[in-house]
A = this chain, B = another copy of it.
Amino acid sequence: MAKQHLETSGAEGSAGEAVAAYLREQATEFLRSLRQHRESGGSAPGGTAEEAAGAARALRRSARRVSGTLHTFRPLLDPEWSDALRPELAWLSGTLAQEHAYAGRLERLLSALHRLSGAHAVPAQTPAAPPGRVGTAQLSRTENTASGNLTVGAAKAGALLERQLTLARTRAHSTALQALGSSRFHAVADNVAVLASEVPLRATTADLDALAASARSRLAEAVAALPLHRAGHPYNAEALVQGLTADTAPPSQDAPWHHVRLLLRLHRYAQEVVPCGPGTGGGPADAETEAAAALDRHRDAAEAAAAAAHAARTPRIAPATAYALGVLHADQRHDVEAARFAFQRAWLKEAVHTT
């Protein structure tokens, strides 16, 4: 199918060529990361887990960029072909992200528990460490200095979270390995290989800048719908509202922020394709990086808070453990609010530069 469209792609001009060049570059990077992952990780004896994790990260990075570019510049590309590939890329990067996410979540929660327990050292855990190797050494330290049952509660909460998230991480690791060996994955890799040599463009008069500008205005609209005014007032206590009602993990108030996170990502990938697109004067890049980091932090804190709430619903836990998990949940929701504040600040800077 790609072939057929390539034959008719003589008229697309430089707009299509810019997108094609970017997609070729990302597809090549995808294939390189895949090779590296096969050589270093999984079942290969020579590689280290860190190398495998690095390769998986690079693989996800390029998969996200290919998928985002297919979305934003859809009118320049064979729609049927790219509409078929995008969900497959999302499945792949989602599956590969899980292991890393569980490791990061555990690290975040243990680090918060240490802060809450007054331990000064933060566990020096690498999210890339293979599952099962995460020790309880750090937590037992707090138990030694325990001055009351609340600190024992923190240690027990840490052990519980470690058990639950390490199990989830191990499962995610197996799922990722299975995915990388599946025929579904090989079909994705084949399609990306097509992109690396011949991007399926189509004849169109669509304008590159206009498409990048659309990505930007979708982002701006979604940001305008956020409760930014409230977020700009520190300590508004918004993130904990209904913190004791939710039986389902992420509160609905988080959803618009998660959505903006995805739209900001799409906008940033579009900027990579059209470096001097609308609104880029060299200034806002830093503010955008800051805004993106704030939304990553928002997502991570929200998921960590949900994991603490989830752990608190484990049957037969001690009240002191549940109490510590409650404090931890609220602490992470506090960080959700802090991330919104940080985003609001970064976005103001961004707006100053571009308007």
A185 at the interface (CB under 8 A from B): no
- The reply to whether the CB of A188 lies closer than 8 angstroms to some CB of chain B is no
Chain A interfacial positions (CB closer than 8 Å to B): 113, 115-118, 145-151, 153-154, 234-235, 237, 240-247, 309, 312-313, 317-331, 334-335, 337-338, 341-342
What does DSSP make chain A's interface, helix, strand, loop or mixed? Answer: helix
- Bound-state Cα–Cα, A330 to B146, Å: 19
Q: How many copies, total?
A: 2
* A332 to B, closest residue via Cβ: B330
Chain B residues lying within 8 Å of A117, measured Cβ to Cβ, are 242, 244-245
Q: Is the CB of A334 within 8 A of B237?
A: yes
Contact residues in B for A326 (Cβ distance below 8 Å): 322-330
Cross-chain pairs A/B with CB under 8 angstroms, 25 sampled: A115-B241, A117-B242, A145-B245, A148-B246, A148-B247, A150-B244, A150-B246, A150-B309, A150-B313, A151-B244, A151-B245, A234-B234, A234-B341, A237-B334, A237-B338, A240-B334, A244-B327, A312-B323, A320-B322, A322-B322, A325-B326, A326-B327, A326-B329, A327-B329, A330-B331
Bound form: Cα–Cα A154–B241 in Å: 13
Q: Which residues of B contact A313 (CB under 8 A)?
A: 148-150
Contact yes or no, A116 B309, CB < 8 A: no
- Contact residues in B for A321 (Cβ distance below 8 Å): 319
Q: Are B335 and A235 in touch, CB under 8 angstroms?
A: yes
Q: Is the CB of B317 within 8 A of A245?
A: no
For A341, list chain B residues within 8 Å (CB): 234-235
Which of B118, B245, B319 is close to A319, meaning CB atoms less than 8 Å apart?
Answer: B319
In the complex formed, the residue of B with least CB distance to A337 is: B235
Distance from A192 Cβ to chain B, minimum over Cβ atoms (Å): 41
Is the beta-carbon distance between B240 and A327 smaller than 8 angstroms?
yes
Beta-carbon nearest neighbor of A324 in chain B: B244
